[in-house]
Structure 1
Amino acid sequence: MNPVIDVLAASEIDHLEGLWGQLLAHHSKKAPHLAELGALRSPAESWRLRREQYIEWLREPRTTVLVARDGDRLLGYAVVRVLDAPGSWQWGDQVGVLETLVVDDDARGTGVGQALVGAARERLAELKVQVMKISVIAGNEDAVRFYQREGAVDFVRTLVMPVSG
């Protein structure tokens, strides 16, 4: 498959809802252990909250939503931000963050994810960003292997735990 990668306008954000729902379902299957901390949000509620977050992020001038298309069909999307993050390593004072990467269930394994990650890397390189941070939900080892094939290495492990109880 040879998807066309475009930048999605903020006014078209609602086109992403179906793919976000697929990602939510995928995460619920890959990370059932997280249900111990609280029930999964409904797809509608989850999308409402993520949509608000996307709109807020798109107010930042260096946030981009990249979409992969095959004609009129939306195959996937990636949300990429740039954050100030001076740290212990000489990576510059800003890092890219791949906030979301979703590939339509029927398009997985066809190169769509690679195309979106490649476009995200190109976008960040244009902005003189040297490093992109990627978070993967625990249990999604397929995603870890995908990012490692793309050149990602382990950096930080994030844990969650209940505050009371």
Structure 2
Amino acid sequence: MSAIELRITGAEALDLLEPLWLTLHHHHMKVAAPAAFQDDATSWAARRAGYARWLSEDGSFVVLAERDGAAVGYAVVEMLPGPDDTWVTGARMAEVQTLAVAPAERGRGIGTMLLDAVDARLAELGIGDVFIAVLTGNADALRFYERRGLRPVMTHLARFTAEG
């Protein structure tokens, strides 16, 4: 098996992310509480628009993991102005909006490589404050992030009209 190559990129890579986003979207449907989920086309259109908006922020970036030229994972990182209104943070913060790894590649350390690259890039930018959301029910992701020193600090609640 060939090695994973990582590269820092931006909005120019968006079209490469769709298949990986959709596998993550399907994973969310499996691990989350039953809910009314968007269809694939609507989900990707909304996520792609979000990525374009987030990546327009100065310093925001994508870490793309490729094997033999094919995308097998990615992290999208948005830069946020600081300081935060609740926690003591620096003048800039980062939010990992998505971390996705192709199902066939999971368990091979690609998520770790992606977050290592995110941390290295943030260190270059002088940013140490990082946020990432984990979908309720995604216990494996929560454990993964906690092993990296992140911890839960907020719980979001929701009510969806599509569910009555």
Residues 8-157 of structure 1 mapped to structure 2, 5 A cutoff: 8-33=9-34, 35=35, 39-87=36-84, 88-157=86-155
TM-score, normalised on structure 2?
Answer: 0.90
> How far apart are residue 161 of structure 1 and its match?
2.4
CA-based RMSD = 1.9
What is the aligned residue count? 161
> How far apart are residue 159 of structure 1 and its match?
1.4
Aligned equivalents of 2:160 and 2:6: distance in 1?
40
Runs (4 or more) in structure 1 with deviation over 6 Å come to none
Structure 2 unaligned blocks of 5 or more: none
Deviations 1:51-73 (A, max 9, x none): 11111222212110110111212
> How far apart are residue 94 of structure 1 and its match?
2.1
> How far apart are residue 10 of structure 1 and its match?
2.0
> How far apart are residue 158 of structure 1 and its match?
1.4
Contact 1:78–1:116 (8 Å) recurs in 2: yes
My pick for the range that moved more, 124-133 or 105-114, is 124-133
SS of match in other structure, 2:108:
coil
> How far apart are residue 153 of structure 1 and its match?
1.5
Identity of matched residues, %: 38
Which amino acid counterpart does residue 81 of structure 2 have in structure 1?
D
Contact 1:85–1:94 (8 Å) recurs in 2: yes
> How far apart are residue 29 of structure 1 and its match?
0.4
Aligned equivalents of 1:56 and 1:86: distance in 2?
21
Which amino acid counterpart does residue 6 of structure 1 have in structure 2?
R
Aligned equivalents of 2:11 and 2:89: distance in 1?
30
> How far apart are residue 162 of structure 1 and its match?
4.5
Deviations 1:40-98 (A, max 9, x none): 11111111111111112222121101101112121100000110132343321321100
